[in-house]
Amino acid sequence: MSTEPTDDGCQEYQQLARRDFLTLAGGVGVSALLPTWLPKVVMAQSSNGSRDIIVSVFLSGGTDGMSMVVPFGDPDYYTGRPNIAIARPDAAGTGPKVVALDNFFGFSPGMAPLMPAYTNGDLLVAHATGSVSTSRSHFDQQRYMELGKPNDPRITGGWLGRHLATSAPTRSNAPLRGLGFTSGMPQTLSGGPKTLPIPNPASFSIGGSATTATVRAQWLAANHGGTVNPVADNALDATNTIALLQQINFTGYAPVNGAVYPTSGLGQALRSTAALIKADVGVEAVHAFSGGWDTHATQGPIATLDGGFMHTRMLDLANALAAFHADLIQGTTSYGVTVVVISEFGRNARENGNRGTDHGRGNVAFAMGKKINGGRVLTNGWPGLARENLEAGQDLRVTLDHRDILAEIVQNRLGNRNLSVVFPDYTPRFFNVTKP
């Protein structure tokens, strides 16, 4: 997969990128996810074709949600961003303008490829959403959001891993239920049974020379497949997963409905995800990342400003999601899949002196699928961008906990009612994110 572009992110974000923070998460056993202090778990419904596959995308770096989905109806957006604000849909001239979603919000030009999904009612935009934690640390906030609860050292596994751990598999003999397009286990999936980090499914194998890969896989199954659990199950799952993925033609996969996936890491991850879903091999959860959203300087939310850095990032994201929508969700032959997109935090409501934005609070999130109640921008009351309405005088307030969106999807689309386990010590509110 291609390497994501770098940006002028803060030192902490660059350090996390260099260390590959995701590899630090590691695998966590299911037993570690279900400590005695959690409520009693009732396994979610047995194999059921009505349960969606979930695709989780994390935008690391802290996206500027107000450049992605512009609140052009709030005049204080333009007051606070005299250099980087995107012109209203009805602005004079021929320069880049917001693409209206309603009479208040609109996509930036970089997000415009998602208009078909939005107008079809398959894409929901949530605004002024995020974590209840006020931390501005990339490390802390990403960890909190992936865990599903902030500021609790007892929590070790990820929210999506706990979903898998409390759900019966949709296919009892599937060797692979969860997959992260990462070099190490992403925290979101940590603890999920039969879950692996696989950066590129097309080349997944046991490390070492390709000429002896088959022999070594056979040795692994023969020497550890008959031992005690969990060693035996893990060995067999690993070898069975290798054999399973080798049967899928990832390289020759042909999307439908004119879908064209970007050649970026995210684009190719979603393309491989589409191939996995259509192969119907029992995968239930996929997690991918898109980096480079820490835009402290020369943010460039439009193509004609400062080289258009963020505009290019938005185009990649929107084109990847639009291709996935056309390939799997659009039309009458759509597949049972729901996509969620979140980031650790938003950016300041006001631009800084470098035509960028610093770490903030409220942000956007997206949900996409045939059973998503989309075609609208969801807010739990727009808090406003006047200085007196901003958190600490600088940030868009969080009025919608991101877990409310995720929890409704987990219960209504993934068929898992164990929300007190998936999101410990939190009682979610539902906002009609999903359709019956």
pTM for the model stands at 0.87
Binned at pLDDT 50, 70 and 90, residue 333 comes out as confident
**In this structure, CATH architecture of domain 11-204+248-422:** 3-Layer(aba) Sandwich (3.40)
Task: State phi, psi for 354 to the nearest 5 degrees.
Answer: -110, 20
Residue of 168, 177, 316 whose CA lies nearest to 244 = 177
In the predicted model, what is the mean pLDDT of the chain? 87
Dist. CA 301–CA 356, nearest whole Å: 9
Predicted confidence (pLDDT) at residue 221 exceeds the cutoff of 80: no
Predicted confidence (pLDDT) at residue 29 exceeds the cutoff of 90: no
Instruction: Provide the β-strand partners of residue 288.
Output: 57
Q: What is the 3-state secondary structure (H, E, C) of the chain?
A: CCCCCCCCCCHHHHHHHHHCHHHHCCCCCHHHHCCCCCCCCCCECCCCCCCCEEEEEEECCCCCHHHHEECCCCHHHHHHCCCCCCECCCCCCCCCECEECCCCCEECHHHHHHHHHHHCCCEEEEEEEECCCCCCCHHHHHHHHHHCCCCCCCCCCCHHHHHHHCECCCCCCCCCCEEECCCCCCHHHCCCCCEEECCCHHHCCCCCCHHHHHHHHHHHHHHHCCCCCCHHHHHHHHHHHHHHHHCCCCCCCCCCCCCCCCCCHHHHHHHHHHHHHHHCCCCCEEEEEECCCCCCCCCCCCCCCHHHHHHHHHHHHHHHHHHHHHHHHCCCCCCCEEEEEEECCCECCCCCCCCCCCECCCEEEEEEECCECCCEEECCCCCCCCHHHCECCCECCCCEEHHHHHHHHHHHCCCCCCHHHHCCCCCCCCCCCECC
Structure tokens at 59: 């935008």
Once rounded to an integer, what is the mean pLDDT over residues 378-395? Answer: 97
Structure tokens at 12: 């902490």
Binned at pLDDT 50, 70 and 90, residue 315 comes out as very high
Domain boundaries of the chain, sorted by first residue: 11-204+248-422
CA distances for 107 relative to 42, 301, 377, 411, angstroms: 41, 11, 11, 29
Predicted confidence (pLDDT) at residue 297 exceeds the cutoff of 50: yes
pLDDT of the residue at 228: 44
Once rounded to an integer, what is the mean pLDDT over residues 419-424? Answer: 98
Q: pLDDT of 170-197, one tens digit each?
A: 998 899 999 999 999 999 999 999 999 9
Binned at pLDDT 50, 70 and 90, residue 331 comes out as confident
CA distances for 308 relative to 239, 348, 363, 436, angstroms: 45, 19, 20, 40
Q: pLDDT of 235-271, one tens digit each?
A: 456 678 888 898 999 999 999 999 999 999 999 999 9
Name the more confident of 225 and 79: 79
Residue of 253, 195, 183, 189 whose CA lies nearest to 1 = 183
Predicted confidence (pLDDT) at residue 209 exceeds the cutoff of 50: yes
